[in-house]
Chains A and B, each alone.
Chain A
Amino acid sequence: MPPPLQAHRLLISHRRLPTPARRRFTAVSSVQSAPATTLAPGPATSSILSIRESLLSGERTAVDITSEYLSRLRRTEPSVRSFIHVADAAAEREAEELDRRIASGEKDAVGPLAGVLVGVKDNLCTANMPSTGGSRILDGYRPAYDATAVRRLREAGAIVVGKTNLDEFGMGSTTEGSAFQVTTNPWDDSRVPGGSSGGSASAVSARQCVVSLGSDTGGSVRQPASFCGVVGLKPTYGRVSRFGLMAYASSLDVVGCFGSSVFDTATILSVVAGHDKMDSTSSSQDVPDYASELVSLDSLESKPLNGVRIGIIQETLGEGVDTGVVSSIKGAASHLERLGSVVEEVSLPSFSLGLPAYYILASSEASSNLSRYDGIRYGRQVSADDLNEVYGESRANGLGHEVKMRILMGTYALSAGYYDAYYKRAQQVRTLVKESFKDALERYDILISPAAPSAAYKIGEKINDPLAMYAGDIMTVNVNLAGLPALVVPCGFVEGGAAGLPVGLQMIGSPFSEGNLLRVGHIFEQTLQNFSFVPPLLAEH
């Protein structure tokens, strides 16, 4: 049973709007024409939409909105430490510039993400900001270019507020693996935010920014989304360009999105998704306007999920999974049933094979991808008397423990004589995993599971037990092996911290079915009663 949660909602972006003027859950395109509808205060609202409305109506300026977020960031950052780099001055300048353009009546001034503050995981390259990947070896490195996802956000009018903390190069599940700082969970500062995109998740959770970008190689968006009580989306492999994402495991890496609502998450996915000629693995599938396909709460039928077939993955509710998590997921399943869908248990026999296969493949690719961090052309170089020492010392000093361990594992797996037993075998397992998902997804529209076997755990709890940490990725890695999209939506709480710890529901779909996941996720989110996913950290003020 979830703990009683009475923390009142904080309608951050809406504070100055009188309730009747507020509209939610409608498409961006209809903002200017549709009449305002009155909705009772309830579930998650779209911050992007209300920012857009207030800018268009002249209700608020971009400077106002930016300073609201920045002041909250300054207040919460000392305890949360989401950001490695905060670009507050640049954000303020960009907001002023936006206001100037709006005032001078520039037609295109208000882009789809105008005035929206985004946090960007520090393994995504940003031209005018440091980009370290959370690694000492790139301390002070400033890329010459923006990652495609970042460029697209900026072109849509978004303001990059800073670079968020992560496990070094995305390798970890707690964000404790950062070379620079430990990020805490906004729900309980003695706990981890999850990882590796822990900074991006905690920043959205603490409303330090509106939305954020992360990356997901084995669960790095979904698990921290679950731990921090925000919405996290891992798109289909190839849906978002990887150009400018510091590669960890190229065949698994995906740029993902965080938001405090499904609507916001859908909005930024529409902006960042799509083919990029700089990434040959990016898909040329059309990108729908995901947010416009979401149905507002007031126009929902009584059984909006009629005809939707949902499979709940048996293997994710068994041994080793926290009972609180299991009951939250079962509660969520009942809720989905009440909305009209059919929920059945489904078995994925290859599920348990995914974890070891994942760690072999990801480490193998990492051992290759990280070779470029050699201190020769950029980043930290240690001077030495001979070449091997230059390499050895630069990498020994620049790379952290977990990264070195994975490079060693990957190098081993790819070595002559071991390749067939490890890398090749893991690829075979990957094929099995893909097939078993494909099978299940022919019978069900969506598969559901927890996003992690537990809620957020204590900082330091697993730091000396990598296997325990790796085991925590069991819920998510299979999805990366299969290249599928998955959406995590907060669905409940378990006991812990001052106000309970959030639990996320993972919804997995067929390739390029993000639209359907977001639609179902949105309905789920809008109809979930009695939960508020604003952390107590914010309620105190």
Chain B
Amino acid sequence: MALTLLRGMRTPISFRSNSGLLFTVLRPRLSRFTTRAESAQATEPKAAPKSIQLATKEAAEQKTQGFEAVIGIETHVQLSTVTKAFCSCPYNYGSQPNSTICPTCMGHPGALPVLNEKVVECAVKLGLALNCEISMISKFDRKQYFYPDLPKGYQISQFDIPIAKKGYVNLDLPVEFGGGHRKFGITRVHMEEDAGKLLHSESGSYSQVDLNRAGVPLLEIVSEPDMRTGIEAAEYGAELQRIVRYLGVSNGNMQEGSLRCDVNVSVRPVGQSEFGTKVEIKNMNSFSEINRAIDYEISRQIMLHKEGQADQIVQETRLWDESSQKTFTMRKKEGLADYRYFPEPDLPEVVLSTDYIDEISKSMPELPEAKRRRYENMGLSMQDVLFLANDDNVAHFFDSTLEHGADAKLACNWIMGDIAAYLKNEKLSINETKLTPLELSELIESIKNGTISGKIGKEILVELIAKGGTVKGVIEEKDLVQIADPAAIEAMVDKVIADNPKQLEQYRAGKTKLQGFFAGQVMKASKGKANPVLLNKILGEKLNAN
């Protein structure tokens, strides 16, 4: 096998990556699906207060000066199955080129695809999570084009009968972007296989083909053209990422290309029902880049409209350039590509039973949207809700802290405050620390019942995160139990007052803010263990006593 491959690679394939020709057929898209939907706006005010939504809408309108952007997104999610979609090769990101390949994923003569049933399971899970209709019978089709990273000369995909269709996704925009609830339509979800990768030589005189990624399963999710701003699009992508991570179907990693978003953007005067000419943007490696790329593209298109140069907006693919914060033309579309789809004769139809779907349905975890609504009902603020629900691990930690009896608001404060700060500093995720939900709930309880002060609590937390152990253990080991005996506090207060006659004189002369000084001294003497309420009460009485 290796020999065959070397033969393929030995001859420098003489085409240049910079000739432009290389990209003529590069991973073309099912653009027709994004334009088919006529439903212009599907945003529904739901949970968010209307005033906020109106405010953001007005702000957006002012910014776009009478124009409205229409945005649709095609997302490719790489599934984290053990083996590829149609053969038993594994896939590990970053492994030696052409080390996980076989006759099937190399497109050798006579080799046939065999569907990995895990792919169907992942697709049904995602379809259900996106509130889609699941096709009880779907099929695979061949999408045909020539490119060196496509071994068979066709991609096995789904054309007219996707496994899932007509769904929607709910999300809440971040508070710092004005907040608001949104509902975006999902046109379809279909299964397909990934292509390999081309490695271009530095000189540009030849290219090499790495087929490790060829045949890796993907789900393509096509949205309705329901988004209007960069942040909406970015949040749509982020919500998909959360969903695939919650479901465990993909790691959703954008840097590794496990989640790729291609965005279609057009603008039109407010009130016009037909769409403007759409432009596809690629090469965005984070949601923040998606946000900025779209906003740049919208203003570019609006500018052309206002300058009477709307005809300069052409159907093309533009690349986002992070260094200049601009989009650039990659290639102009020369008419619609014809992929000559036809049913894949090597694979039988995918027939699902209701039992199968019910089984998967039962195994579904609580999804981000349900989580957010649940947290909201606990009385948490949207900022808290989003923080907790955005990360499956954090949400899980939070929920299990509550299960141990902790108060929601207090648990949330600890997680969003000290714990989040620690994680950020140490670049850890919450499940990588030694702190357990049980101990966090213990900690909260110890403060609540007065065993320790909040200040001591913070110290104990650091100890627990870094070294583990129990709240009780740390309290005992370091003798941190709060001093709540009035007699003991009174003795310490008396001693501090006696030791500082000068300050006492000043206090009694009217400089009452010195109470803080005395309190500090007592706290110091008690090694921080004195109950602060009791301390201040006794101290006040003593200072003012005459």
A residues neighboring B (CB under 8 Å): 123-125, 131, 133, 138, 141, 143-145, 147, 242-247, 249-251, 277-281, 364-365, 367-368, 370-374, 376-378, 381, 383-388, 390-391, 411, 414-416, 419, 423
A513 to B114, CA, bound (A): 27
Q: Residue A246 contacts which of B110, B209, B346 (CB distance < 8 angstroms)?
A: B110
Q: Is B36 an interface residue (CB 8 A)?
A: no
Chain A residues within 8 Å of B113, by CB: 280
Given contacts A368-B154, A384-B15, A419-B342, 16 further A-B contacts (CB under 8 A): A143-B108, A145-B103, A147-B110, A247-B110, A250-B345, A279-B114, A280-B347, A368-B142, A368-B153, A370-B153, A372-B109, A377-B107, A378-B7, A387-B13, A390-B15, A414-B341
CB distance from A408 to the nearest CB of B (A): 12
Taking each of A147, A280, A377, A423, which has the highest tally of chain B beta carbons within 10 Å of its own beta carbon?
A: A377
Number of B residues contacting the other chain (C-beta, 8 Å)? 43
Closest Cβ neighbor of B337 among chain A residues: A416
CB of A125 within 8 A of CB of B110, answer yes
CB of B342 within 8 A of CB of A364, answer yes
Stretch of B16-24, B268-276, B294-302, B530-538 lying at the A interface: B16-24
CB of A374 within 8 A of CB of B146, answer yes
* Binding site secondary structure of chain A: loop
CB of B146 within 8 A of CB of A415, answer no
CB distance from B8 to the nearest CB of A (A): 4
In the complex, 14 of the A-B residue pairs with CB atoms within 8 angstroms, ordered by the A residue number, are A244-B110, A244-B111, A246-B110, A247-B110, A280-B114, A281-B347, A368-B342, A371-B146, A372-B107, A374-B148, A383-B11, A385-B14, A416-B336, A419-B340
Known contacts A245-B110, A280-B114, A377-B4, A371 near B338 by CB under 8 Å: no
Q: Which of B1-47 contact A (CB under 8 A)?
A: 1, 4-5, 7-8, 11, 13-16, 19, 21-22
CB of A385 within 8 A of CB of B15, answer yes
Chain B residues within 8 Å of A416, by CB: 336, 338, 340
Closest Cβ neighbor of B150 among chain A residues: A371
CB distance from A243 to the nearest CB of B (A): 5
Q: Is B106 an interface residue (CB 8 A)?
A: yes
Q: Is B115 an interface residue (CB 8 A)?
A: yes
Known contacts A383-B14, A384-B14, A278 near B112 by CB under 8 Å: yes
Q: Residue B4 contacts which of A144, A244, A249 (CB distance < 8 angstroms)?
A: A144
* Binding site secondary structure of chain B: loop
Chain A residues within 8 Å of B144, by CB: 368, 371, 414
CB distance from A511 to the nearest CB of B (A): 15
CB of A242 within 8 A of CB of B342, answer no
CB of A378 within 8 A of CB of B110, answer no
A364 to B341, CA, bound (A): 11
CB of A371 within 8 A of CB of B114, answer no
CB distance from A92 to the nearest CB of B (A): 27
CB of A377 within 8 A of CB of B209, answer yes
CB distance from A530 to the nearest CB of B (A): 43
Q: Is B72 an interface residue (CB 8 A)?
A: no
Q: Is B228 an interface residue (CB 8 A)?
A: no
Residues 199-216 of B, flagged 1 when their CB comes within 8 A of A and 0 if not, give 000000000010100000
CB of B109 within 8 A of CB of A143, answer yes
CB of B111 within 8 A of CB of A387, answer no
CB of B19 within 8 A of CB of A378, answer no
CB distance from A223 to the nearest CB of B (A): 23
Closest 10 CB pairs of A and B: A371-B153, A387-B15, A250-B345, A251-B345, A414-B340, A377-B8, A244-B110, A372-B107, A246-B109, A125-B110
Q: Residue B13 contacts which of A147, A250, A370, A376 (CB distance < 8 angstroms)?
A: A376
CB of A391 within 8 A of CB of B110, answer no
Q: Is B151 an interface residue (CB 8 A)?
A: yes
Chain A residues within 8 Å of B21, by CB: 386-388
CB of B19 within 8 A of CB of A280, answer no
CB of A124 within 8 A of CB of B338, answer no
Taking each of A243, A371, A383, which has the highest tally of chain B beta carbons within 10 Å of its own beta carbon?
A: A371
A247 to B146, CA, bound (A): 18
A365 to B342, CA, bound (A): 9
A368 to B14, CA, bound (A): 25
Closest Cβ neighbor of A141 among chain B residues: B109
A191 to B8, CA, bound (A): 40
Chain A residues within 8 Å of B346, by CB: 247, 250, 280-281
Chain A residues within 8 Å of B154, by CB: 368, 371
Closest Cβ neighbor of A388 among chain B residues: B21
Chain B residues within 8 Å of A373, by CB: 109
A42 to B260, CA, bound (A): 72
CB distance from A221 to the nearest CB of B (A): 17
CB distance from B217 to the nearest CB of A (A): 16
Q: Is B84 an interface residue (CB 8 A)?
A: no
A387 to B11, CA, bound (A): 13
CB distance from B145 to the nearest CB of A (A): 9
Known contacts A371-B153, A381-B11, A386-B15, A278 near B114 by CB under 8 Å: yes
CB of A280 within 8 A of CB of B110, answer no
A250 to B156, CA, bound (A): 14
A246 to B108, CA, bound (A): 9
Known contacts A144-B4, A144-B103, A243 near B111 by CB under 8 Å: yes
A383 to B205, CA, bound (A): 13
A125 to B108, CA, bound (A): 10
CB distance from A483 to the nearest CB of B (A): 12
Closest Cβ neighbor of A247 among chain B residues: B110
A365 to B114, CA, bound (A): 18
Known contacts A246-B109, A377-B4, A277 near B342 by CB under 8 Å: no
CB distance from A394 to the nearest CB of B (A): 11
A368 to B346, CA, bound (A): 12
Taking each of B109, B154, B336, which has the highest tally of chain A beta carbons within 10 Å of its own beta carbon?
A: B109
A415 to B342, CA, bound (A): 10
Q: Residue B348 contacts which of A278, A281, A386 (CB distance < 8 angstroms)?
A: A281
